[in-house]
Amino acid sequence: MASRKSSIDQNLIRDLAALLTETDLSEIEVEQDNLRIRVARNVSAAPVHVEAPAAPPPAELEVKSTAPAQQAPADPSKQPGAVPSPMVGTAYHSPAPGASPFVKVGDTVAKGQTIMIVEAMKTMNQIPSPHAGKIAAILVDDAQPVEYGEVLMIIE
């Protein structure tokens, strides 16, 4: 076992530890050949006391409920035209800040046309339309974090 410990690249461990700090991750694990290295840091957050906000007056509730909002289906993942996010990341509607969005509700798209970008690990991943159709709903805001499988939009 002593020979195995001596073959561990100390610089690799230092690089992984630095990567944890740079990316603010709590742990990272790599496997190469028959060697697996897991580097983790113990991050203990101080307890935070947060008071629940007071209930808004009824008049304010009425204003919020009458505001125009895009109607999302009860369960968007059950929609036949649902476009799920292929990864965890941040969804963007346009190719650059200030640029016009790839698509808007009501636009007609072709199969393979870029409809959104999901940034993951500093890589911009174009999300192509899985089929031709009309954009019925865009369910995520620009620069919103998204989960794997979360429905981004619905194409009819």
Q: Any idea what the CATH number is for the domain that residue 84 is in?
A: 2.40.50.100
Please give the tally of structural domains in the chain.
2
Say if 130 falls within a structural domain: yes
Domain that holds residue 34: 7-40
DSSP 8-state assignment for residue 117? E
Mean pLDDT of the chain, nearest integer: 77
For residues 145 and 83, membership in a common domain is answered with: yes
Q: Which residues contact 120 (CB under 8 A, 6 or more apart)?
A: 87, 88, 89, 90
User: Strand 133-138 and strand 151-155: pairing?
Assistant: antiparallel
State pTM to two decimals. Answer: 0.52
**Is the pLDDT reported for residue 74 higher than 80?**
no
DSSP 40-73: E----PPP---PPPPPPPHHHHHHHHHS--PPPP
pLDDT in tens, 89-135: 999 999 988 899 999 999 999 999 999 999 988 889 999 999 999 99
